Amino acid sequence: MKALVIYDSNYGNTKEIALKISVGLGTDSKAIPVTEFKREYLNGVTHLVVGSPILGWRPSENTNKLLDSFGSEELKDIKVTSFDTRMKIFFHGDASNKILRRLIDKGGEKLCDPKVFFVKDKEGPLFEGELERAEEWGEEISRI
């Protein structure tokens, strides 16, 4: 298994989650900011995880640009899933499901349901235990 975690992060919370997911995925895993993504990073990748903070009830603009850039079958033979970071409020939006649907539309095979991680306020910090949950989720994904 070769895994890639692509993330966007405004205040560092989504980055922290992405790095812990990558740790959980194992040594053949890499986490990169969406702004540093290059096509060749997909070579040999079997598992792709994309994460974003929720901004205006949807994924970030950079994340949407990444998803738009993938060709219709570019993710064929790659297992995909997603995550988002959000506040624990009633009106929060849903970036992770939107990301996953778009990854599948680009040919990806659903790996597992998306995951949500919570921040205490708009700029964070993350709630206690979220980093541990992220690493555990990465470990779970690595076994699929």
What pTM does this model have? Answer: 0.96
- Give the model confidence (pLDDT) of 100-112 as tens digits: 999 999 999 999 9
Q: In the structure, what pLDDT confidence band is assigned to residue 91 with cuts at 50, 70 and 90?
A: low
**Mean pLDDT rounded to a whole number for the chain:** 95
d(CA 30, CA 28): 7
pLDDT at 131 over 90: yes
pLDDT tens track for 40-51: 999 999 999 999
In order of their start, the domains of the chain are 3-142 (3.40.50.360)
Mean pLDDT of 123-141: 97
Residue 56 Cα distances to 53, 86, 95, 102, 126, angstroms: 10, 11, 9, 18, 19
End-to-end CA distance of the chain: 10
DSSP conformational letter for 58: B
**Residue 92, pLDDT score:** 62
The structure tokens listed for 132 are 């541990």
pLDDT of residue 56: 77
Give the amino acid at 75. Answer: L
| Rounded CA separation 95/42 (Å) | 22
Residue 90 has pLDDT above 70, yes or no: no
